[in-house]
Amino acid sequence: MEEKEKVEPHQAFVSSHGSFGPTGNTVIAPPAGLCAAAVAVHGYKCQEFEMMGIYLSMQRIPQGRAGGSAKNKQPVLLQHGVLVDGMTWLLTSPDESLALMLADSGFDVWIANTRGTRFSRQHVTYAPTNPEYWNWTWDELVTNDLPAVIGFVSSQTGQKIHYVGHSLGTLTALASFSEGKQVENVKSAVLLSPIAYLSHMTTALGVAASKAFVGEITTMFGLAEFNPKE
């Protein structure tokens, strides 16, 4: 078995593209990214971050439409599920999108994007077209990526975080927290559609999908990336 890349948690270097958003009555046009596509257009300030190495992308919404400072606000980290990215928290109007609702309610909102998704496809060595880029499993998300993200948000804010995960975001959290990773920096956890055991699944399609090992099957056919949209 080939050795997979090792990305040490808590030691990720981070670059920030700075903040952009409303200035007076004008919305500044930011670089392409999640902030530009779904946050700043609604009148919110937003910051783009990249964690170097595997280049995990994160977005920060430090304040709601009413303005104010992010200082001393409770940080909330949103972690999406499988086959989607951070955009999943921003698909509807500001009054219905969880990320923007939390910002308007006075929280310091952080959005994570799992490696390999649309906003986290960079790498210090490999391009996404290289099969080696995809030589990892959700074990790396548990041991490396999620602890690094939580540690970064906590260090930036100086506070413990509130964690909100959906689907895959609950699986990685449960596994990571059970190993004691970054639990000292988590104040609470909300798990939406949590995944821990499959014994209670009743639909034939769900059972078949859980036992199909789609990743291994696609690899046999020379497909390193499984993208149902293509």
> What tens digit of pLDDT does each residue of 33-89 get?
899 999 999 999 999 998 866 679 999 999 999 887 767 899 999 999 998 999 999
The pLDDT score that the predictor gives to residue 203 is 84
* The CATH fold of domain 14-196: Rossmann fold (3.40.50)
What distance in Å separates the CA atoms of residue 22 and residue 11, rounded to the nearest whole number?
33
The string of pLDDT tens digits covering residues 100-159 is 999 999 999 999 999 999 999 988 888 988 989 888 888 999 999 999 999 999 999 999
pLDDT over 60 (residue 189): yes
The pLDDT score that the predictor gives to residue 100 is 98
The pLDDT score that the predictor gives to residue 174 is 96
What predicted TM-score, i.e. pTM, was given to this entire model?
Answer: 0.82
Judge contact between 112 and 58, C-beta under 8 A.
yes
CATH 3.40.50.1820, the chain: domain bounds: 14-196
The pLDDT score that the predictor gives to residue 11 is 37
What distance in Å separates the CA atoms of residue 30 and residue 39, rounded to the nearest whole number?
11
54 against 23, higher pLDDT: 54
The pLDDT score that the predictor gives to residue 84 is 93
Interhelix angle 168-178/146-157, nearest 10 degrees: 80
DSSP string, 182-200: SGGGEEEEEEES--S-STT
The string of pLDDT tens digits covering residues 169-181 is 999 999 999 999 9
The pLDDT score that the predictor gives to residue 96 is 97
The pLDDT score that the predictor gives to residue 6 is 37
Instruction: Reduce the DSSP state of residue 49 to 3 states and report it.
Output: strand
Provide the token pair at 127.
């391009």
Looking at residues 184-189, what average pLDDT do you find?
98
The pLDDT score that the predictor gives to residue 217 is 63
Looking at residues 4-31, what average pLDDT do you find?
39
The pLDDT score that the predictor gives to residue 208 is 78
